[in-house]
């Protein structure tokens, strides 16, 4: 039976659960971290509401269950909020991880399972997906593999940086594959420079690939909708092993990059456009491959035509392959 301290969190305010909420959380963990909606009584409602307000429990509407959330995730998020306030709140922020230590140990003692089928769980909604990924980052024991095609919003990169730097400082590894257009995006270059300085490795691959996260070679996250409003969290060992192999294949073909100024990356875009044209790609295919608009690609093609004195795309591609005019 788990030993629970009397209440070391009583003076930490809304960031820590009361005794009834603590006992309910431990009960959810004892049930495997997933409890159907119907299993809760009206008398559980105040404690359950408190756990959801704090963030220690989240509802999964698709499976009609409440899911326990790692106290590390809660501690990290609430601590960050407290640190942004006045100095008097800093004491509360620093005390919170220790206050949740008992719950963290209880959470770590429960074998993880994605859902009652034990293979995959479907999460809907950006906020729920973000919380689930935060939990995986907090629980990561070895390292993270990821593929990130296309542009990423600056605010998303800022959020990722706040998660990834603590991960790296804990001694975990991180390898990421970008497309070459990332080298021309200031926000992406800033993020990459920051994390590589702390030991991460980021390469670029001039090919199409899908977005993917793999934690500890045990849990994979892939999008289930084009707008990323749905995601699948996969724990089936055969499926995850396959996805790891796909990552390693792409990693071996990707190019290493020294992440510095985005100006260098921008200057290489016309070169990549020309190389794809020389391989026979159409303007639309080049745009898709590089994650650029067709208008941007058309501008690069226009400048390349002037440089090579070409009248058509066919002639430009031929000249760039080393052909000579009459």
Q: What is the CATH number of the domain that holds 182?
A: 3.30.870.10
pLDDT reported for residue 304:
83
pLDDT reported for residue 324:
47
pLDDT reported for residue 19:
92
Residues 106 and 226 in one domain: no
Q: Could you tell me if 57 and 67 are in contact, meaning their C-beta atoms sit under 8 angstroms apart?
A: yes
Residues 126 and 87 in one domain: no
pLDDT reported for residue 113:
52
Residue 139 lies in a domain: yes
pLDDT reported for residue 12:
44
Residues 13 and 99 in one domain: yes
Please report the beta strands in the chain, taking only residues with DSSP state E, as ranges in sequence order: 34-36, 57-60, 65-68, 120-124, 143-148, 173-178, 201-204, 212-215, 219-223, 230-234, 255-256
Residue 296 lies in a domain: yes
pLDDT reported for residue 5:
36
pLDDT reported for residue 294:
79
Residues 185 and 296 in one domain: no
- Distance CA(267)–CA(191), nearest Å, equals 19
Residues 176 and 151 in one domain: yes
- Distance CA(67)–CA(31), nearest Å, equals 10
pLDDT reported for residue 73:
84
Residues 200 and 311 in one domain: no
pLDDT reported for residue 142:
94
Residues 180 and 48 in one domain: no
pLDDT reported for residue 201:
93
- Tokens read off for 256: 């290493």
pLDDT reported for residue 152:
84
Domain assignment of residue 305, given as a range: 268-320
Residue 138 lies in a domain: yes
pLDDT reported for residue 208:
86
Domain end marker among 244, 261, 278: 261
Residue 140 lies in a domain: yes
- Distance CA(90)–CA(107), nearest Å, equals 26
pLDDT reported for residue 221:
96
When divided into structural domains, the chain yields a total of: 3
Q: Could you tell me if 177 and 145 are in contact, meaning their C-beta atoms sit under 8 angstroms apart?
A: no
pLDDT reported for residue 10:
38
Which residues, given as ranges, of the chain have pLDDT below 70? Answer: 1-15, 82-83, 85-93, 108, 111-118, 260-268, 290-292, 321-326
């Amino acid at each position: 039976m788990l030993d629970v301290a009397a209440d070391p969190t009583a003076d930490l305010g809304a960031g820590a659960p009361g005794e009834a909420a603590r006992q309910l959380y431990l009960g959810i963990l004892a049930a495997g971290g997933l409890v159907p909606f119907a299993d809760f009584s009206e008398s559980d409602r105040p404690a359950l509401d408190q756990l959801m307000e704090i963030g220690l429990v989240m509802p999964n509407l698709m499976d009609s269950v409440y899911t326990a959330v790692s106290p590390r995730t809660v501690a990290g998020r609430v601590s960050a909020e407290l640190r942004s306030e006045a100095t008097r709140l800093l004491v509360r922020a620093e005390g919170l991880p220790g206050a949740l230590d008992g719950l963290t140990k209880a959470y770590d003692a429960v074998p993880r399972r994605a859902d009652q089928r034990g293979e995959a769980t479907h999460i809907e909604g950006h906020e729920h997906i973000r919380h689930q990924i935060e939990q995986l980052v907090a629980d990561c024991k070895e390292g993270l593999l990821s593929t990130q095609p296309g542009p990423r919003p600056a605010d998303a990169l800022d959020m990722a940086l706040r998660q990834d730097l603590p991960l790296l400082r804990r001694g975990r590894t991180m390898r990421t594959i970008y497309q070459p257009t990332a080298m021309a995006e200031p926000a992406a270059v800033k993020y990459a420079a920051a994390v590589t300085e702390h030991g991460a490795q980021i390469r670029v691959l001039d090919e199409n690939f899908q977005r993917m996260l793999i934690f500890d070679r045990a849990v994979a996250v892939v999008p289930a909708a084009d707008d990323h409003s749905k995601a699948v969290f996969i724990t089936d060992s055969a499926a995850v092993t396959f996805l790891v192999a796909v990552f390693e294949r792409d990693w071996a073909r990707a190019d290493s990059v020294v992440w510095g100024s985005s100006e260098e990356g921008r200057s290489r875009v016309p070169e990549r456009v020309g190389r794809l044209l020389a391989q026979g790609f159409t303007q639309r295919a080049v745009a898709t491959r590089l994650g650029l608009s067709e208008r941007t690609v058309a501008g690069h093609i226009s400048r390349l035509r002037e440089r090579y004195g070409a009248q058509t795309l066919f002639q430009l591609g031929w000249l760039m392959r080393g052909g000579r005019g009459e």
